[in-house]
Structure 1
Amino acid sequence: MIKNYKNALVDLDKSLKIKSNNPFALNIRGIVHQKINNFEKSLSDFNELLKLNPNNVFVLNNCGVIYRTMHKYQQSLSDINKALKIEPNNAYTLSNRGTTYRMMKKYENAFSDLNRSLKIDPNNAIALSNRGITYKMINKYEEALSDLNLSLIIEPNDTFTLSYRIEIYLMINRHDEAYLDLNNLLKINPYNIFALNNRGEIHRLKCKYKEALLDLNKSLQLKLCNSFSLNSRGATYRVINRYEDALLDLNESLKINPNNLFALSNRGATYLTMNKYEEALLDLDKSLKIEPNNVFSLINRGATYRIMYRYKDALSDLDRLIKLKQNNALALSKRGEIYRLMNKYDDALSDLNESLKIEPNSAFALSNRGQLIEC
């Protein structure tokens, strides 16, 4: 496609050398430059068009889009406002301005324009998509999904809208629906890194490790320095006992971002499994400075302290976990074990009983309660 654009530009350049003010050629060349992200050149062509016809609403809208893409929001508004003075009820232009307001985090203004646009044209897929994204930005996920669903009925293969619906499904833990959308997105574009990453992560969460590695390996072939893929693949390697591979990925991720919470906590857990307790504590301590109530880090640091016979420190982490979630069966059973090791048998029995009320078939809790009989 890029090659076709380059060929098109060769022809358009020749055409405009012959007749420099050819509106058709200027317009097409401006659009081609815009598609291949040559924004300055695109603006140059569109500005020439506006000298020929200052009231060209299509060109003013395109300039607004380009300025927005360049994060020049005031210039974007300036051109879109000019277009709306010419055609106040243009649904596309209203939607366009609403999008710029959304990018500026002026959500009330965005809703005002997008609602007006949809009154004029209720089936405007772009306006529906952008209103859905605006709802997402203010955490109104059901309203967001309603708009995005309607937009995708009109334009089923719109990868932009599909990606945002996937993001929302993931945020609200509707992984099965996200998975279906990710499959559709990869049918449209098999090389979509966002889709490969997130489908790989869903496979990992569902313990489908081979499938996870297939997606994450492909993603990393497309983009080597991809911290999301490195994190997810590192966590996958950890679970399937490929600890050296896990460390390679997590180390690479932490070169990109030394404060990546996911990478730190998973590297800490990997070191714990490899019996490298001091290294584990360094990573887990750092992760808990970033997010003090991170459940994964707390449970692993507690386990590290237990192995190092630092029972009071282990209790401190487990107490915090149980305060965060009283019905945490794993934390209760782990604390019960610590109490047993400290010879606090009544406290141990109390925690293990509570844990077994929540998970009656927990082998760990049953084993620890069984050992209390001997005490």
Structure 2
Amino acid sequence: MNVSKHIYFLLFLITFPILVFSQNIQEDDSLSYYNFIAKKELDSANYKKAVSIADKAIKEGYVSNKILKTRAVANYKLRQTKKAFLDIEEIIMSDEDNLDISPLISLYYINIESPNNAISILVNSFNEDNKTFFHSLSLINERDFKIIIQAIDNTMTSEDYPKALYGIKSMINYTFKNYNDSYTDLITALEGDQTNGILYYLMGEIKLKRKEYISALASFNSAILYNETSTTTYKQRAIAKGFLNDFKGALEDYDIILKREPQNAEIFYLRAIAKNYLADYNGALSDLNRAISISDTFSSAYNYRGIVYINLGDYGSSLIDFYKTLTYNPNHPFTHNNIGIALIKTGQSTKAEEFFTKAIQLDKKHADAYYNRGKLLLEKKNIIKAKQDLLTTLELNYQNPDAHYLLALIYIDEKSKNPRLKLEDKICSELEIASGMHHPKATELFNKTCQKIEPEPQEEVEEPLPEDNPEETPEEEPFKVN
């Protein structure tokens, strides 16, 4: 009997640690599970569900810094600020990394009237990892971002304020699209910190938005030099190169990205645009096929493949792709215009006008759609409407030489029908502008016509509308500013 008890006791000693260890594994698994699903709901903006899951986890004893942060952020997004700050209090007492919610911690300190701590958490987070800090700024709302900015401005009235505050302000203002204020702060921040890659990146983004492509490129170069080598930085540098017509340079950056992310449909699409500009139509087609194979609902890829097919003279395939684009995006900004062009190429001019009109209805500032419709109306001898479309084209895009040339032809036609009209200056002005934009027909007609025009009103200029009007070109989506 004693032996039996002794054996049971030994078995208990052996199995008890195993049972405890097994229980710890289950607890760790449950905690990880709750952390995962709560964060997933938070990232999906299902804030109430995230709070519910976090509440359940904490009620069952699965408390962690991660679950508290998730609940704090979710409650903040639900405007339950007091509840969020209760979790922030517990989070602050832990020794774990809180970089990803530092703006919320700063707001907490401002709320309890501890501005020095509020500024300190911002500065420490910025100095420790300014990239993580930058991304964390998206947590806060516009009202509270103004509160933080005010706290920073109050601190900067003292003599010994941290110089990092310029960089912090620039990031906050950029996050909330105050690009002018961000730009001003970036200049000062970079004077004091000339090796900060993410600040150069933000400067490049602002320059890109301002269409200052040379300085944008320089900023992205500096960002990469100082280790801001994210996919986005290379992509934005490629876009800047594209606007500077350095398409080969753009290809180099896209190649770098695709080595890292071989399934990135957007980059295949952007690389196809660069190849199209280099007249590598087959290469562009290959990249677009790849983009579509990765994402078969990528409407812009179908649209651009239609453009490439036009460049290859395959108008039937272009129409198929343009219609496919509208299947996935009925209001795609360029496609109706492009269908109109493809219809003209296939001899269906009658149907083309309605697509140009639809493009204009979708975007009242669609200069190319006005131009294409105006040119089509001119060929149909609807001079009055054609003239109005061409004038609208030039209001929206003064740098369209074809529109200037066609408008000159209309003025010549009006003058030939009514010699009393004083249109000489308008004729020569439009031809001269188009000629200055390297339009060969405008140059030829300017030299032929304007030399004959005299200031006397009775002078008559007879120049019929030529049959060989400039061909339409498909709308090509430019390198895009994100």
TM range (shorter): 0.5 to 0.7
Quick one: distance in 2 between partners of 1:141 and 1:72?
Answer: 31
Q: Give the residue type in structure 2 aligned to 1:262.
A: F
Q: Which residue of 1 aligns with 2:137?
A: 68
Q: Give the residue type in structure 2 aligned to 1:144.
A: A
Quick one: distance in 2 between partners of 1:327 and 1:297?
Answer: 11
Q: Which residue of 2 aligns with 1:275?
A: 347
Q: Which residue of 2 aligns with 1:302?
A: 375
Q: Is the 2:208–2:216 contact (alpha carbons within 8 Å) kept by the matching residues of 1?
A: yes
Q: TM-score, normalised by structure 2?
A: 0.54
Evaluate the alpha carbon distance shift between residue 55 and residue 288 of structure 1 in structure 2; reply closer, same or farther with a 3 A threshold: same
Q: Which residue of 1 aligns with 2:93?
A: 52
Q: Which residue of 2 aligns with 1:245?
A: 317
Deviations 1:61-109 (A, max 9, x none): 3756565335634456768999998x96374x75454222112122354
Tell me, yes or no, if structure 1 residue 101 matches structure 2 residue 173.
Answer: yes
1:157 aligned to which of 200, 207, 229: 229
1:210 aligned to which of 262, 277, 282: 282
Evaluate the alpha carbon distance shift between residue 107 and residue 156 of structure 1 in structure 2; reply closer, same or farther with a 3 A threshold: closer
Q: Which has the higher helix share?
A: 1
Report how far residue 213 of structure 1 moved: 1.2
Q: Give the residue type in structure 2 aligned to 1:170.
A: G
Deviations 1:272-330 (A, max 9, x none): 12222232000112334534672465246524652x56566556656777897699369
Quick one: distance in 2 between partners of 1:69 and 1:78?
Answer: 15
Quick one: distance in 2 between partners of 1:319 and 1:89?
Answer: 55
Q: Which residue of 1 aligns with 2:162?
A: 89
Q: Give the residue type in structure 2 aligned to 1:180.
A: E
The total of aligned residue pairs comes to 340
Report how far residue 30 of structure 1 moved: 8.9
Q: Is the 1:133–1:144 contact (alpha carbons within 8 Å) kept by the matching residues of 2?
A: yes
Q: TM-score, normalised by structure 1?
A: 0.67
Report how far residue 267 of structure 1 moved: 0.5
Determine helix, strand or coil for the equivalent of 2:334: helix
Quick one: distance in 2 between partners of 1:57 and 1:94?
Answer: 22
Quick one: distance in 2 between partners of 1:152 and 1:210?
Answer: 31
Structure possessing the higher relative contact order (Cα contacts under 8 Å, 6 or more residues apart):
2
Determine helix, strand or coil for the equivalent of 1:122: coil
Q: Give the residue type in structure 1 aligned to 2:32.
A: D
Q: Is the 2:303–2:325 contact (alpha carbons within 8 Å) kept by the matching residues of 1?
A: yes
Q: Is the 2:173–2:179 contact (alpha carbons within 8 Å) kept by the matching residues of 1?
A: yes
Q: Give the residue type in structure 2 aligned to 1:214.
A: S
Evaluate the alpha carbon distance shift between residue 278 and residue 115 of structure 1 in structure 2; reply closer, same or farther with a 3 A threshold: same
Determine helix, strand or coil for the equivalent of 1:225: coil
Determine helix, strand or coil for the equivalent of 1:220: helix
**Runs of 5+ consecutive residues of structure 2 not aligned to the other structure:** 1-27, 36-56, 78-83, 105-132, 446-465, 469-482
Quick one: distance in 2 between partners of 1:322 and 1:109?
Answer: 33
Determine helix, strand or coil for the equivalent of 1:155: coil
Evaluate the alpha carbon distance shift between residue 72 and residue 238 of structure 1 in structure 2; reply closer, same or farther with a 3 A threshold: same
Report how far residue 188 of structure 1 moved: 2.8
Q: Give the residue type in structure 2 aligned to 1:220.
A: I
Tell me, yes or no, if structure 1 residue 328 matches structure 2 residue 397.
Answer: no
Determine helix, strand or coil for the equivalent of 1:145: helix
Q: Please tell me the root mean square deviation across aligned C-alpha atoms, in Å.
A: 5.2
Report how far residue 159 of structure 1 moved: 1.5
Quick one: distance in 2 between partners of 1:30 and 1:121?
Answer: 35
Q: Is the 1:305–1:311 contact (alpha carbons within 8 Å) kept by the matching residues of 2?
A: yes
**Runs of 5+ consecutive residues of structure 1 not aligned to the other structure:** 1-8, 34-38, 361-367, 371-375
Q: Which residue of 1 aligns with 2:202?
A: 130
Determine helix, strand or coil for the equivalent of 2:296: coil
Q: Which residue of 2 aligns with 1:365?
A: none
Tell me, yes or no, if structure 1 residue 13 matches structure 2 residue 32.
Answer: yes
Quick one: distance in 2 between partners of 1:296 and 1:194?
Answer: 26
Q: Is the 1:268–1:284 contact (alpha carbons within 8 Å) kept by the matching residues of 2?
A: yes
Quick one: distance in 2 between partners of 1:55 and 1:101?
Answer: 28
Q: Is the 1:288–1:298 contact (alpha carbons within 8 Å) kept by the matching residues of 2?
A: no
Report how far residue 172 of structure 1 moved: 4.8
Deviations 1:231-283 (A, max 9, x none): 11121223334334322322233344444342111100111122222320001
Out of 318-327 and 62-71, give the one that drifted further.
318-327
Determine helix, strand or coil for the equivalent of 2:206: helix
Q: Is the 2:374–2:390 contact (alpha carbons within 8 Å) kept by the matching residues of 1?
A: no
Quick one: distance in 2 between partners of 1:177 and 1:281?
Answer: 38
